[in-house]
Amino acid sequence: MDIIRTKSDLREIVNKALGKGQTIGLIPTMGFLHEGHLSLMRRARRENDLVIVSVFVNPTQFGPNEDLEAYPRDSEKDITLMRSVNADIAFFPDADDIYPYGYATYVQVEGAMAQTLCGRSRPIHFRGVTTIVSKLFHLAKPHRAYFGQKDAQQVAIIAKMIQDLDFDIELVVCPIIREADGLAMSSRNRYLTSRERSKAKVLSQALHSAQAKIKNGERSAAAVIQNITERIASVKPAEIDYVSVMDAVTLNDVQALRGKILIAVAVIIGRTRLIDNVQFEV
């Protein structure tokens, strides 16, 4: 596996691969890798000739009071994990290379899609996400880009950006990878104390309880939201940020459940903000 640190070196490798007719798979990450990331890499390995994994804690998606400096980093462990799944390129750019002095251009999906869910409490977050992802698309020139369903809003926004800006890229969305007790894997799980960690499983439990009710005939979004809210609120110290039932493509709220549905939650446990979701067809 080659470790690349500059845009120019990445472009050179990518252009050589394209010249040979190779297919390219890209997995954009912020590092501190776990099994969820590795599942994306394994699928990319099966489907592409060249697998590129980017590791970049992107400053433009963090607000003034968010955890940019505290965000966990472990490049040595990340490299070991990437090698374990036979990734070809590990791209570790510096912020000054990605956003040089005077940088002033951003990509943003307008409208409610980026302002709902996490966008309400993190107003600049998705502008940062779409900007860095579009830059990585231009640099890596992938045929396929791999993202996890855990970040459902991010996936919907990137899908919209790909469509609107005519990127010739297949968006591959992979299932949520969970711990044995159901907690969705996340780099932020390490912030939880042992007591908080035992409480955090309520997110997946509440979602799966609601999903079971839907399978048994429940079609009211309000009833589903109430069921999830009551289940999570019964666990202390869980503080609910949102519980939403939405159209999975447009992220518009729905009243009656039909079609492709996304149920998404964000909950603060202690000092850690966790997200989870389920998506299914009604």
Residue 180 lies in a domain: no
Domain that holds residue 82: 2-174
pTM: 0.95
Cα separation, 105 vs 240, in Å, equals: 34
Closest CA to 93 of 32, 41, 135, 154: 135
* pLDDT digit string, tens, across residues 194-228: 999 999 999 999 999 999 999 999 999 999 999 99
pLDDT of residue 66: 82
Task: State the total domains in the chain.
Answer: 2
pLDDT of residue 112: 87
* pLDDT digit string, tens, across residues 28-77: 999 999 999 999 999 999 999 999 999 999 999 998 888 788 888 999 99
Q: Are 123 and 239 found together in one domain? A: no
**Residues involved in catalysis:** 37
Proportion of the chain above pLDDT 90, given as a percent: 91
Q: Are 153 and 201 found together in one domain? A: no
Neighbours of 208 (CB within 10 A): 12
Residue 261 lies in a domain: yes
